[in-house]
Amino acid sequence: MADGTYVNPSGEFTRDQNYIATRITADGRDGWPVEPGRYRLVVSRACPWANRSIIVRRLLGLEDVLSMGVAGPTHDKRSWTFDLDPDGRDPVLGIERLQEAFFKRFPGYERGITVPAIVDVPTGQVVTNDFAQITIDLSLEWTAHHRPGAPQLYPEHLREEIDTVNRVVFADVNNGVYRAGFAGTQESYEKAFDRLFGRLDWLSERLERRRYLVGDTITEADVRLFTTLARFDPVYHGHFKCNRSKLTEMPVLWAYARDLFQTPGFGDTTDFDHIKRHYYEVHRDINPTGIVPKGPDLSDWMTPHGRESLGGSPFGEGTPPGPVADGEKVPAAHSPLP
C-alpha cells in the first residue's frame, strides 16, 4: 500500500517509520526556510496522521501562508491521487499523484508515499513527510505567521510531559489499532488488542478528573489522540477487530472526544465519509469485498459532553479559529456538524 500498511502473515504489524526528515525552519538550517506561500501541505482527510496537520494548521491560523491540497480518500499501490480536483490534478502543483513530488526529489523513491507531506511549490519537490515533526514545527517554527490568539499547542513548560504522553499514546493507541488490524496471527492480534485497551483504560482514568491530557488547555497531545478516537467506531472497532468496547461505550473517552469534536478545528476538519471509504475500500487484504458500512449513526457526536465542569479552557488565553476557509469545508453529508 502507498501508506505502508498491510497484513504481516508471520505475525506482528511493524510500521516503517523512516520518513523524510528534512525540516522547514525559521532559520532555514536544512535549506528550507519558512516562507509564506512557498509550500503546500498535501493531505487526505481519511488519514489520521494527516488529519493532525489539518487540525494544527487551522488552530494556528496558517491557511493563508501554507496552502493545502487534498487527495482523495483512496489510493492504489503507487500513490495518493488528486481525484477530488476537477481534472484529477492538484491545482497548485499540477500533478496527478503525490508520488510525482517524491520522485522529483528522490528519483525511484522506494518507501511509502505518505501523507501528510509538504511540497516546495517552486521546485515541485517533496520536503518532508515526517508527520510527527510537521505539527511540532508548525507550532514552533511558523510562529511569525500564527493568527492573533493562536493557542500554544506545544508550550515549553509542558513539553516533557506532552512528549511522554505522546510516546505511549502512539505506541499503544495511534499505532496500536493498526497492530491489531494488520496482525497476521492470533497471538500477535491478542497481544495488540490487550495493549490497546489497557492504554485506553489508562487514558480514561487520566481524563476522568481533567479536561485535557496535559495542562488545562488543548495541546499537541489532544490533537494526536483525537484523530484515533474519531475513527474508532466507524473503522477500528469493526474493521480492525478492536471490539472490546466501542468509543460510545467508554464514557470518559466518549465525552472527551465529543468535547474536542465540538471545538472549532476538530470536528470541522473530520470527514467520516472519507475515513470509512479509505479503510474499507483500500485494505482489501482485510475487507476483500470493499463494501463500506453505512453506520454508525454520527448524530451523537453533537450531544452535550458536560466536560466544562472539569475546568480548563480550550484555547487558554487565546481565541478559537475563525470560520473554515473557503474551499476547505467538509461536505455537510460527511459530518454531523450543523
Whether the per-residue pLDDT at 223 is higher than 70: the answer is yes
| SS3 per-residue string spanning 143-211 | HHHCCCCCCCCCCHHHHHHHHHHHHHHHHHHHCHHHHHHCCCCHHHHHHHHHHHHHHHHHHHHHHCCCC
Is 210 part of any domain? yes
Is 248 part of any domain? yes
Is 101 part of any domain? no
- Do residues 45 and 274 make contact, with C-beta atoms less than 8 angstroms apart? yes
Condensed to tens digits (0 to 9), the pLDDT of residues 139-185 reads 999 999 999 999 999 999 999 999 999 999 999 999 999 999 999 99
- How far apart CA 53 and CA 119 sit, in angstroms, is 14
Q: For residue 76, what pLDDT band results from cuts at 50, 70 and 90?
A: confident
Grid cell in block for residue 327: 474551499
Looking up residue 223, the CATH number of its domain turns out to be 1.20.1050.10
In the chain, the percentage of residues whose pLDDT exceeds 90 is 92
> What is the average pLDDT across 255-284?
97
Residue 239 is part of which domain span?
156-334
| Per-residue DSSP letter, 43 | E
Is 273 part of any domain? yes
- How far apart CA 211 and CA 178 sit, in angstroms, is 27
Is 117 part of any domain? no
Is 20 part of any domain? no
254 annotated as ligand-binding: no
> What is the average pLDDT across 279-293?
96
Grid cell in block for residue 43: 493531505
What predicted TM-score, i.e. pTM, was given to this entire model? 0.95
Condensed to tens digits (0 to 9), the pLDDT of residues 128-145 reads 999 999 999 999 999 999
Q: For residue 15, what pLDDT band results from cuts at 50, 70 and 90?
A: low
Catalytic residues: 47, 178
What confidence score (pLDDT) does residue 18 get?
80
Grid cell in block for residue 183: 496482525
Which H or E element spans position 281? helix 272-282
In the chain, the percentage of residues whose pLDDT exceeds 70 is 95
Is 267 part of any domain? yes
Amino acid of residue 114: T
Condensed to tens digits (0 to 9), the pLDDT of residues 188-212 reads 999 999 999 999 999 999 999 999 9
- Nearest CA among 176, 170, 174 for reference residue 191: 176
- Do residues 176 and 196 make contact, with C-beta atoms less than 8 angstroms apart? yes
Domain count, the chain: 1
> What is the average pLDDT across 234-248?
98
Is 10 part of any domain? no
Q: What is the mean pLDDT of the chain?
A: 95
Within its chain, how far is the Cα of 74 from the centroid? 15
